[in-house]
Structure 1
Amino acid sequence: MDDDSRLNRWDRRTDLVLGVASLVFLGSYAVHVLLPRLPNAAHVFFLALLYTAWAMFAVDYAVRWRLSGEGPGFVRRHWLDTLVLVLPLLRPVRVVRTYESIQRRRGESRLSLHARVAAYSTLSISLLGFSGALAVYQVERSAPHASIRTFGDALWWTCSTLSTVGYGDYVPVTTLGRFVAAGMMACGLALLGTVTGSFSSWMLQRFALNEDERRPPES
């Protein structure tokens, strides 16, 4: 059996498990950040869940590297997987991949290609936005002269950043917060570009179809 077949089999077997682990990671991180007054034992429990999920991501990365047979080239070819391992808050986006895998196993999706792109982009933006808001809120809430003091402020800042509006009423002041902001800007541009491109393609197809319907039949 070649390396690609083994890697594909591993991906099929672990998609659902790692998708659930991604949600556990995000949920545990959210509880840790949003409920700081929980008993210390509860925080230890949720941190244990968080690091366990992260360890699962690391094991998956190592196994996929081994099965790929690419050696060090795996890091370069799968740079996004490497980035997600280093920045696990991006990991919940894997839920989109998990859903897509389940749809493929069940047969043809009921949604058109353009509808799937729009739906998956919306889900990705929502997960990234929530993760980014948590990260910024955690590092900014206690910083001197910070404008982002509540999670509501962080959510509003996330919406304006991902939409590339950037009102400037809330801005991160810490180095880590600005690093998160740069990542959010890049993700927002990429995802919005995907949605815009898909919508434009759909409109062109609709116009082309209407033109074909209006064209008189050839004799």
Structure 2
Amino acid sequence: MKLYYSPGACSLSPHIVLEEGIFRYETERVDLTSGKTETGADYRTINSNGYVPALLLDDGQVLTEGPAIVQYLADRAPETRLAPPVGSMERYRLMEWLNFISTELHKSFGTLFNPQAPEAWKDLVNTQLARRFDHVNSRLDGKVWLMGDDFTVVDAYLFTVLGWGNYVGVDLAPWPNLVAYQGRVAARPGVQAALKAEGLIE
């Protein structure tokens, strides 16, 4: 398998899952500004949407969209418990969280990264994000990971998205459960390996 990624982007989530699942895989960096990969390929010939991640499978198929990719990987390594079994209520809870992170957090952060977005709009987004952080902070109360005792793909995704606060001035200090949670995720060897591979830490 090969993961197409951009450092620190949402592709970090499947990168973490690849490390946590102890997969054999390759990576290829994508310059999202030029649309070229590090080998000079036109990334839109791989993913016509032009954004990361994309996962090139061993049979030549390309899978896109982070929530789909991480579930695919989790199902390839069920012994890691990165996702509950297909068809279980807990699996639907996992999908519930993936959708929440994608639509309520990920997309909101996208506005904050947009240099053309008016400040008034960004203020509204920050207010909305604060409410969403309240929700996640309360759901983490008394838990190690978002879904309980097992680290799952939702933790990889939430960690990635929350980390963007460092780049757009979103301080997590008012939400102590989120701060402690980020520290726990960051300390995992698989997470450390993915961060180092992307040049995000030394």
Q: TM-score over 0.5 for the alignment? A: no
Point out the structure with the larger helix share. Answer: 1
Higher relative contact order (CA 8 A, sep 6+): 2
TM-score interval, smaller chain: 0.3 to 0.5
Greater Rg by CA: 1
TM value normalised by structure 2: 0.33
